[in-house]
Amino acid sequence: MPEGNGDRTIRVLDPATVNQIAAGEVVERPASVVKELVENAIDAGARTVRIDITSVQGGISAIRVTDDGCGMSSADAELAFTPHATSKITAIDDLFKIHTLGFRGEALASIAAVAKVTLVTKPRGGTTVAGIRLIVIGGVQKEKGETGAPQGTSIIVEELFFNTPARKKFQKNLNTELARIHGILEGIFLAYPQVSFRFSHNNREQLVTDRTTQPLDTIARIFGNDCTRELVPVSSDLPFMRISGYIARPALSRKDHDRILVSINDRYISSAAVMAAVREGYGTLLPRDRFPVAFLSLAIDTRLVDVNVHPTKKEVRLSKEKEIGEAVREAVHSALMKNDLIPEVVVPRQQNRALDSAGIVSARITSGVAEPVVPYDSGARVHQADATYDPDAFTAPARIEPTHTGTVSTDNRLRQTELASGVPPVPAVMPALDVIGQVGGIYILAAAPDGELIIIDQHAAHERIFYEQVSRSMAARHAQELLVPAIIHRSPKDASILRELIPVLAQEGVVIEDFGSGSFLVRAVPAVMGKIEGPEMIDDLVSDLLNSDPTRPVSDRERITRIISCRSAIKAGTVCTLEQCQRIVNQLRTTRSPFTCPHGRPTMVRFSRAKLDEMFKRT
């Protein structure tokens, strides 16, 4: 029991202390002040909002937010600093139909409790000529008077955390704080395209948007045209929710989910459920460790959204979270399926004139791949998501004749994916292509009707075809007995993992029996793999299974499907005849998601006619 606390009577804390405690929740850091002030400006119906940050000696010295909104009367200006004083709700019922960003009446009181706040305001259509100026320091009103002011409100926050040294000390460095402010403002600017915003630091403009009716303009303003070029629209109407916005083609992936920006009822929020749903909507269009770029706005029946979970309202509680997540995933998925997702090869402008030693202009996929896509290990080591001409990258000579046995085995593999039944046809999302030839036993060159050159990775393409057959057709998964059962041997550790996988494997058509002491008998493989594979292949498949990371967020079944597809697909380095190449391309066209392999890497890239003209200086 602690000593020196003789007096244990319960006392009600004085208001100043209460406010400081509350302030700790709302006003964590400078960025929270910015968020609250800007949200107030929006709630006040502002058309233009300015955010000015001043810093000296590596610390933020002033935050000023100026708006042309409704302003406040003299009495309201004073009330605004009183805890739980708000003009936005009057009773508890209002909490379930909130259409403003604020409603708790906490922010101004909390900020003023830990800083010096200067408020200048003049109400819209007010009778007074002058505005009101009010200074509150540490929760105590210090000055009140009249001043010349334009209509609207300007709030300056200085000496933040002057009376809470602990909090002040924990502020990260200036750049971290500015980055947080930037991040918060990005979300708000996107959610309010109808407002003009201007954010500056020490009089230098950082982020500016102009009021517009086109959300795409705001996205372009913040993230640039390179981003908007890759976006496809999303829209979906459901009884309880409307989804709208834009998502990027898979080429524009990122290694963080920091560019999945979602607003719910015009409030920029973070909802793990919604973010996960967006990612799931991409399915195998993205490598497993990549995240998409998405700007979505959800209008949800306000009764289903509880924003009163946390003082900063950054998190919301959603009733029907599962349905909402499913709807988002479905909307994202169908938006992607509706669009041509072939990444375009572009010639970087500054390198336009740079010829390599061989005198060939090198091109890169830069349009979208914000960061390089991590190559995966599929036995197709040579291909990279980068079309830079690199002579060393080719393992096979550019032109070799197919061998007889090679052709027969390729034919078998192709027939396997042509015959598999029970896969319902889907409308083609990629153009019909005419194969021109094959390069290096890996890449198929093809022409699209509009004069585009398309390059296809044959392994990735056939892998996609296999994958869809296995995952979409029960028949493809039926077990087919091997004429001669194969025996495989495994170490005790592997054997115990494999033993656990036996039931899952059986569901996928791989029938394995445990023979004890590390031996297993493989009796059957999925019909789609058919007779093409010998026992080595089964052994490899099991190795892949044992080596693949079981912690990654896909089911065992998904893992098995991907491995089967990869193992059964035509390998890179297999020389195909022109006719075989054409068959691969035709089959690819019957898939739902022809643009990426099941690991999310591109199956094809395009040189548009315009790009080709540009490269040959015909423009």
| Residues that bind ligand ADP in the complex, under the rule CB under 6 A | 36, 40-41, 43-44, 67, 69-72, 80, 85-88, 102-109, 153
88 binds, among ligand ADP, Mg ion, none (CB under 5 to 8 A by kind): ligand ADP
505 binds, among Mg ion, ligand ADP, none (CB under 5 to 8 A by kind): none
Task: Output the smallest distance, CB 81 to Mg ion, in A.
Answer: 12
Residue 460 in contact with residue 601, Cβ under 8 Å? yes
452 binds, among Mg ion, ligand ADP, none (CB under 5 to 8 A by kind): none
Task: Output the smallest distance, CB 103 to Mg ion, in A.
Answer: 8
Task: Output the smallest distance, CB 210 to ligand ADP, in A.
Answer: 20
Q: How far apart are CA 76 and CA 88, in angstroms?
A: 13
Residue among 103 and 291 whose Cβ is closer to ligand ADP: 103
Residue among 84 and 169 whose Cβ is closer to Mg ion: 84
Q: Residue number with the shortest CB distance to Mg ion?
A: 102
230 binds, among Mg ion, ligand ADP, none (CB under 5 to 8 A by kind): none
Residue with tokens 């948007």: 209
Helices (H), 479-555: 492-507, 535-547
Name the 3-class secondary structure at 261: strand
Residue with tokens 């197709």: 380
Name the 3-class secondary structure at 535: helix
Task: Output the smallest distance, CB 205 to ligand ADP, in A.
Answer: 22
Which amino acid is located at 272 in the chain? A
Residue among 78 and 226 whose Cβ is closer to ligand ADP: 78
What is the DSSP-derived secondary structure letter of residue 316? -
Number of residues that bind Mg ion (CB under 5 A): 3
Residue among 107 and 300 whose Cβ is closer to Mg ion: 107
Task: Output the smallest distance, CB 154 to Mg ion, in A.
Answer: 15
Q: Which of 19, 20, 32, 40 binds Mg ion (CB under 5 A)?
A: 40
Pairing of strands 116-122, 152-158: antiparallel
199 binds, among ligand ADP, Mg ion, none (CB under 5 to 8 A by kind): none
44 binds, among ligand ADP, Mg ion, none (CB under 5 to 8 A by kind): ligand ADP
Q: Residue number with the shortest CB distance to ligand ADP?
A: 102
- Supply φ then ψ for residue 324, to 5 degrees: -65, -45
335 binds, among Mg ion, ligand ADP, none (CB under 5 to 8 A by kind): none
Task: Output the smallest distance, CB 153 to ligand ADP, in A.
Answer: 4
The C-alpha torsion from 339 through 366 and 374 to 442, rounded to 10°, is 80
Q: How far apart are CA 180 and CA 11, in angstroms?
A: 38
Q: How far apart are CA 291 and CA 344, in angstroms?
A: 20
Token pair belonging to 491? 């170490």
Residue among 153 and 410 whose Cβ is closer to Mg ion: 153
Q: How far apart are CA 29 and CA 171, in angstroms?
A: 7
103 binds, among Mg ion, ligand ADP, none (CB under 5 to 8 A by kind): ligand ADP
Residue among 42 and 510 whose Cβ is closer to ligand ADP: 42
Task: Output the smallest distance, CB 194 to ligand ADP, in A.
Answer: 17
What is the DSSP-derived secondary structure letter of residue 301? -
Residue with tokens 């300007």: 154
106 binds, among ligand ADP, Mg ion, none (CB under 5 to 8 A by kind): ligand ADP
Residue among 83 and 102 whose Cβ is closer to Mg ion: 102
72 binds, among Mg ion, ligand ADP, none (CB under 5 to 8 A by kind): ligand ADP
Q: How far apart are CA 610 and CA 619, in angstroms?
A: 8
Q: How far is CA 49 from CA 130, 306, 506, in A?
A: 21, 27, 62
Planar angle of CA 93, 97, 98, nearest 5 degrees:
110
Task: Output the smallest distance, CB 50 to ligand ADP, in A.
Answer: 12
Task: Output the smallest distance, CB 111 to Mg ion, in A.
Answer: 10
Residue among 313 and 459 whose Cβ is closer to Mg ion: 313
Q: How far apart are CA 162 and CA 156, in angstroms?
A: 15
Residue 138 in contact with residue 29, Cβ under 8 Å? no
| First-to-last C-alpha distance (Å) of the chain | 84
Residue among 88 and 182 whose Cβ is closer to ligand ADP: 88
Residue among 74 and 87 whose Cβ is closer to ligand ADP: 87
Residue 548 in contact with residue 559, Cβ under 8 Å? yes
Name the 3-class secondary structure at 11: coil
Task: Annotate each residue in 90-109 with x if it binds Mg ion (CB under 5 A) or - if it does not, as one string.
Answer: ------------x----x--
Give the full edge-to-edge strand order of the sheet including 294-300. 231-238, 241-248, 294-300, 260-264, 267-269
Task: Output the smallest distance, CB 114 to ligand ADP, in A.
Answer: 14
Question: What phi-psi label fits residue 460: left (phi over 0), alpha (psi between -120 and 50 degrees) or beta?
Answer: alpha
Residue among 40 and 458 whose Cβ is closer to Mg ion: 40
Helix, strand and coil in the chain, % to nearest 5: 35, 25, 40
Task: Output the smallest distance, CB 87 to Mg ion, in A.
Answer: 10
Residue with tokens 């009446």: 105
Name the 3-class secondary structure at 602: strand
Token pair belonging to 162? 């002057």
Residue (of 211, 208, 187, 190) closest to 199 by Cα position: 208
Planar angle of CA 211, 260, 106, nearest 5 degrees:
65
80 binds, among ligand ADP, Mg ion, none (CB under 5 to 8 A by kind): ligand ADP
Task: Output the smallest distance, CB 42 to Mg ion, in A.
Answer: 9
Task: Output the smallest distance, CB 467 to ligand ADP, in A.
Answer: 51
105 binds, among Mg ion, ligand ADP, none (CB under 5 to 8 A by kind): ligand ADP
Q: How far is CA 498 from CA 292, 468, 490, 504, in A?
A: 34, 25, 9, 10
Residue among 104 and 259 whose Cβ is closer to ligand ADP: 104
537 binds, among Mg ion, ligand ADP, none (CB under 5 to 8 A by kind): none
Q: Which residues contact 280 (CB under 8 A, 6 or more apart)?
A: 329, 332
Task: Output the smallest distance, CB 42 to ligand ADP, in A.
Answer: 9
**22 binding Mg ion? (CB under 5 A):** no
Residue among 82 and 362 whose Cβ is closer to ligand ADP: 82
Residue among 77 and 328 whose Cβ is closer to ligand ADP: 77
Query: Which parts of this chain interact with Mg ion (CB under 5 A)?
Result: 40, 102, 107
